[in-house]
Amino acid sequence: MLIRRDESLLLVVDLQEKLAPAIHQGEAAIANNLRLLGSARRLGVPAFVSEQYVRGLGPTVPAIKAAAVDARFFEKMHFSCTGEPGVLEMLHAAHRPQVVLTGMEAHVCVLQTGLGLLGAGFQVFVVADATASRTPENRDLALARLRAAGADIVSSEMVLFEWLGQAGTDDFRAVLPLIK
């Protein structure tokens, strides 16, 4: 099944200032989230950004916050976004059955969010190169568990090319610099 821009939303989980420096390959994950957010904005894909316990983990990384100008931000205390009151209703209100899921940490908040989204009936696409943990082992275990539960594991380029659907369009030319 392809990820369709008119059927999907982007959910970025907890890319926060105090957490990011401790994350294995965190800079690469942030860079791929920036590509996804920029493309989502250009292609009309709704974006949502969660922030876990801002008082303790700090706000969203400034570059992500700047790229997510059209995104809806929400703070949470539950590890799973779906455990936070009102979040499932907010996501369902977008009328998009597919969720492109990214973030930190893969084995905690991303995993629990992905499982919650699957349980709520969403089709979940976890972007492996935009998802990270403090250790590669925890990330790999989270991705394996999400795959076993029914999520598709994809790359940021898979998402971008599936959202685009074809070359030679204005959207393709606008997003291409983010791919190169």
Q: Where are the domains of the chain?
A: 8-179
Q: Residue 166 has what pLDDT?
A: 96
The CATH code for residues 8-179 is 3.40.50.850
Q: 10-residue block means of pLDDT along the chain (180 residues)?
A: 97 96 96 97 97 94 96 97 97 98 98 98 98 98 98 98 96 92
From 157, 91, 139, select the one nearest 118 (Cα to Cα).
91
The model's pTM is 0.97
Q: What is the pLDDT of residue 180?
A: 82
Question: How many degrees, rounded to 5, is the angle at CA 2 between CA 60 and CA 8?
Answer: 40
Per-residue confidence (pLDDT) for residue 161, from 0 to 100: 97
Three-point CA angle 30, 152, 69, nearest 5°: 35
Residues recognised as catalytic: 14, 76, 109
The tokens for 157 are: 């380029």
